[in-house]
Amino acid sequence: MTKETLAYENIDREFKELYVSDIKKTVVAFANTEGGILYIGINDAGEVVGLPNVDDVMQQTANTLKDSIAPDVMPFVKIRAVTREGKQIIEVAVQNGTSRPYYIREKGLKPSGVYIRQGSSNQQLSDEGIRRMLIEVNGKSYESMRSMQQELTFTALRKH
């Protein structure tokens, strides 16, 4: 019997043989780009190696993502255990988020903390790229932004 492979890493697919805290960069990049699936328990060649402690790794993954990414990306993430070739692995499915740009909390909203997906790699986004993403998501002008205060009046204008 030959081993099945999942082809290769791509703009929407990443493999990790074991859990590493650096997965947060990949999740940020997926959420800031087109979404994707991170597989934990599959090596770089796409071969299923499995995980001995799936429950622990799922918990660790969820905690890392919840605690280290801002704004909250968890509504756009699904973490599940699946079986491939008789071995348990974890799929971390990430949708394109609506509160972009997402960033690594400890690095902040600057190039060292904001990632996008380019091909099969996570790339830091430049200051200009961050500004463009903010404009794309929030609109170009102050006037077009929604106000949390909806009881607006023209009292100050009338006085002037």
Tell me the CATH number at 78: 3.30.950
* Tokens read off for 97: 């988020």
Q: pLDDT tens across 57-92, in order? A: 999 999 999 999 999 999 999 999 999 999 999 999
The C-alpha R_g of the chain, in whole angstroms, comes to 20
Measured CA distances, 45 to 6, 12, 41, 48, 65 (Å)? 8, 16, 12, 9, 25
Q: pLDDT tens across 86-142, in order? A: 999 999 999 999 999 999 999 999 999 999 999 999 999 999 999 999 988 877 655
**Is 6 among the domain residues?**
no
Q: What total of structural domains would you count in the chain? A: 1
Q: What pLDDT score does 96 carry?
A: 95
CA distance 116 to 101: 9
Domain encompassing residue 128: 13-159
Q: Which residue has the higher pLDDT, 56 or 5?
A: 56
**Is 154 among the domain residues?**
yes
Q: What pLDDT score does 1 carry?
A: 38
CA distance 22 to 115: 12
Computed from CA positions of residues 78, 117, 7, 56, in that sequence, does the dihedral angle turn out positive or negative? negative
Place of tokens 């996008």: 116
Whether the model clears a pTM of 0.85, i.e. scores above it, the answer is: no
DSSP 118-142: ETTEEEEPPHHHHHHHHHHHH-S-G
**Is 7 among the domain residues?**
no
Q: Which residues contact 69 (CB under 8 A, 6 or more apart)?
A: 24, 27, 28, 31, 102, 103, 104, 105
